Structure 1
Amino acid sequence: MTWLITGGAGYIGAHVARAMTGAGERVIALDDLSAGVPSRLPADVPLVRGSSLDGALLERVLAEHAVTGVVHLAARKQVAESVAQPTRYYRENVGGLTTLLDAVAEAGIERFLFSSSAAVYGDPDVDLITEDTPCAPVNPYGETKLAGEWLVRAAGQAHGIATACLRFFNVAGAAAPELADTGVFNVVPMVFDRLTRDEAPRIFGDDYPTPDGTCVRDYIHVADLADAHLAAARRLSAPGASGDLTVNIGRGEGVSVRELITLIGEATGDTRPPLVEARRPGDAPRAVASAARAAEELGWTARRTVREMVDSAWRGWQLHHGG
């Protein structure tokens, strides 16, 4: 097997590349480097600079490297940006996937793994979100991920491609400091950023119907997420693999924003109390995955704790930001 990982030099992509090469898989990375960092990739992974919107490039890469499976991670992923620039998100996320699937079908590739998101669910009022929970995304980013799932399944059925869609929840941590997330878009680096600037963390609303009044989320270590991609790739590579699979990737346990900030304070030594501000529109009180199907279908369960996520993320932040 030879796997093409789109977005392979990104925060998640580099972890997936490391997990797959560590397990003996041959990997090629494609990345436009808008957010990717080439040095994140293992030394033996070739990097092709380019976009999944470039059909000619995709055809050439698939042929030259004799690719037999694709892991598609490349996408724009910021919710607020998607609200402000919906056409860009549809063009890059759905358009790029369309171009890639055309090239995959033309090349006769029979395995396709799509990295989706819990954003496809929107804000369901349930204790645990299962794969059968109705999908009702509330922003263009989530819409593009749901449309992507539809497209992947349809193309799989039309062209005999075995497909899997992984709906992952809130990603944090790093397998090594140099692989850490360098952006300030997710909650853990956002808190680090405020502490580094000598500002208190912020909590948006403490009057939700949860044990401590703050929102509850399911956090997944990026190294566990990478292992889930490896497990799904192995599932698609099994003899006689066919059809499509959709699974949640989470720990199945909720952590409140206040609990998370407490853990961050312990990791950083900065335990100043957070500022409580007004609720943000669209924040659901609780969003926690049911991880049962992933265990059943992939033989995978998350192994790393939230404390490990925070501690590893802080080491990465210190390396990249001098915190």
Structure 2
Amino acid sequence: MNVLVSGGAGYIGSHTVRELIKRNHFVVVLDNLTKWHRAAVQGAELVAGDTADRELLRGLFRKYGIEAVMHFAASSLVGESVRRPSEYYYNNVVKGLSLMDAMVEAGVRFLIFSSTAAVYGEPREVPITEAHPANPTNPYGATKLAVEGAMRWYGEAYGLRYASLRYFNAAGADPAGDIGEDHDPETHLIPLVLKTALGLLPRLEVYGTDYPTPDGTCIRDYIHVSDLAEAHVLALEALAAGAPSAVYNLGNGSGYSVLEVVRAAEEVTGRPIPVHYGPRRAGDPSVLVAGSEKIKADLGWRPRFTSLGDIIGTAWRWHLGHPGGFEK
């Protein structure tokens, strides 16, 4: 298929582009490159632009015969979303609707949407299944849920077919070691832990030690970015083969606290990782662990990286080879 990947120069997007190409899809990446990296895009057409640009979208759909869209472009920092909700509703919801309107206009029927476990809010039960009530505790999760709701109604009205993938904590790097996680600013736990191990940060900031968990720190489910990428492609191929629209959780089904991640990283790197304890961040739920049985049953997806140590190991290989991230 001919696939447009919005935000394809980002962390998860670039790994998914690689998986699409492996499976013989033709890929066009649309990215405004304000936060992401040209060097992360390999083997695909790269167009610098924004999903708010309807004329650009019309031209791309027509020029490349686009048949499907994978939509990663979004603002995605929980704490920032609490401070700047207007920016998140514009970037995530308004621009998302603009993209879907352009798809409807061009007759592009298939959409794979990058969603998040943040739509669930504070869990009532663990693991969290897709049937769990959606009650986001921050604007980031609320904006993703808003787009999911729009996709449903676009499906009813215009025949849009979609898969929304709600992932838990993406982590790791391609085993080849040439693409990985490089955010500025970096807010994700595993790269911050590894930057501390490399001596690029003096210490790791741990936000909150009074959560109702065994060691008082947040618990998260870590899913390898390459496993996420494979799930996106499986979802796309299922839609193209006639599968109905669906919502899927993506995680390993195992939860690890912040301090457990630190200890695992010390084992992988063989280096001490000093920590500093601070107050909670606004909008952070205590525990997020995925129930991913639905996508396994429907699409035959199975994560290949199930060990936290293995996930951290691939990230460590990337950071050792690229301590400053991608070349600017």
Query: What is the TM-score normalised by the length of structure 2?
Result: 0.92
Report the Cα offset of residue 81 of structure 1: 1.6
* Aligned pair partner of 1:317 in 311, 316, 319: 319
Report the Cα offset of residue 207 of structure 1: 4.2
Cross-structure match for 1:20:
20
Q: Is the CA contact 1:31–1:48 (under 8 Å) kept in the aligned structure 2?
A: yes
Report the Cα offset of residue 273 of structure 1: 5.2
Deviations 1:192-239 (A, max 9, x none): 23342463334334443333333211000000000110110111110x
Report the Cα offset of residue 47 of structure 1: 0.8
Report the Cα offset of residue 42 of structure 1: 2.1
Distance (whole Å) between structure 2 residues aligned to residue 254 and residue 74 of structure 1: 27
Cross-structure match for 1:259:
260
Q: Is the CA contact 2:170–2:223 (under 8 Å) kept in the aligned structure 1?
A: yes
Deviations 1:296-321 (A, max 9, x none): 11210211022122111122222332
Cross-structure match for 1:213:
216
Cross-structure match for 2:29:
29
Distance (whole Å) between structure 1 residues aligned to residue 6 and residue 233 of structure 2: 15
Distance (whole Å) between structure 2 residues aligned to residue 70 and residue 127 of structure 1: 32
Report the Cα offset of residue 109 of structure 1: 1.3
Unaligned 5+ segments in structure 1 are none
Distance (whole Å) between structure 2 residues aligned to residue 78 and residue 276 of structure 1: 20
Cross-structure match for 1:268:
269
Distance (whole Å) between structure 2 residues aligned to residue 164 and residue 3 of structure 1: 15
Q: Is the CA contact 2:196–2:273 (under 8 Å) kept in the aligned structure 1?
A: no
Q: Is the CA contact 1:7–1:73 (under 8 Å) kept in the aligned structure 2?
A: yes
Unaligned 5+ segments in structure 2 are none
Report the Cα offset of residue 263 of structure 1: 1.2
Cross-structure match for 2:196:
194
Distance (whole Å) between structure 2 residues aligned to residue 141 and residue 232 of structure 1: 23
Distance (whole Å) between structure 1 residues aligned to residue 109 and residue 324 of structure 2: 45
Distance (whole Å) between structure 2 residues aligned to residue 316 and residue 272 of structure 1: 18
Once the two structures are overlaid, the 10-residue window that deviates more, 264-273 or 159-168, is: 264-273
Cross-structure match for 2:291:
290
Cross-structure match for 1:224:
227
Distance (whole Å) between structure 1 residues aligned to residue 80 and residue 209 of structure 2: 25
Distance (whole Å) between structure 2 residues aligned to residue 209 and residue 96 of structure 1: 37
Tell me the SS of whatever aligns to 2:135. coil
Query: What is the TM-score normalised by the length of structure 1?
Result: 0.94
Report the Cα offset of residue 104 of structure 1: 0.5
Distance (whole Å) between structure 1 residues aligned to residue 293 and residue 243 of structure 2: 21
Distance (whole Å) between structure 2 residues aligned to residue 312 and residue 237 of structure 1: 32
Structure 1 segment 70-81 matched on structure 2, within 5 A: 70-81=69-80
Distance 1:79 1:279, change over 3 A: closer
Report the Cα offset of residue 41 of structure 1: 1.7
Instruction: Give RMSD over aligned pairs.
Output: 1.7
Report the Cα offset of residue 10 of structure 1: 0.9
Report the Cα offset of residue 282 of structure 1: 3.7
Distance (whole Å) between structure 2 residues aligned to residue 27 and residue 224 of structure 1: 19
Cross-structure match for 1:107:
106
Tell me the SS of whatever aligns to 2:249. strand
| Letter of the structure 1 residue corresponding to residue 263 of structure 2 | T
Distance (whole Å) between structure 2 residues aligned to residue 33 and residue 229 of structure 1: 22
Deviations 1:124-153 (A, max 9, x none): 131211101111111111111000101111
Cross-structure match for 1:5:
5
Structure 1 segment 68-217 matched on structure 2, within 5 A: 68-175=67-174, 176-183=176-183, 184-195=186-197, 196-197=199-200, 199-217=202-220
Tell me the SS of whatever aligns to 2:246. strand
Distance (whole Å) between structure 2 residues aligned to residue 285 and residue 79 of structure 1: 14
Percent identity, please.
Answer: 41
Cross-structure match for 2:238:
235
| Letter of the structure 1 residue corresponding to residue 191 of structure 2 | P
Q: Is the CA contact 2:151–2:160 (under 8 Å) kept in the aligned structure 1?
A: no
Distance (whole Å) between structure 2 residues aligned to residue 112 and residue 273 of structure 1: 43
Distance 1:322 1:165, change over 3 A: closer
Cross-structure match for 1:39:
39
Report the Cα offset of residue 189 of structure 1: 1.4
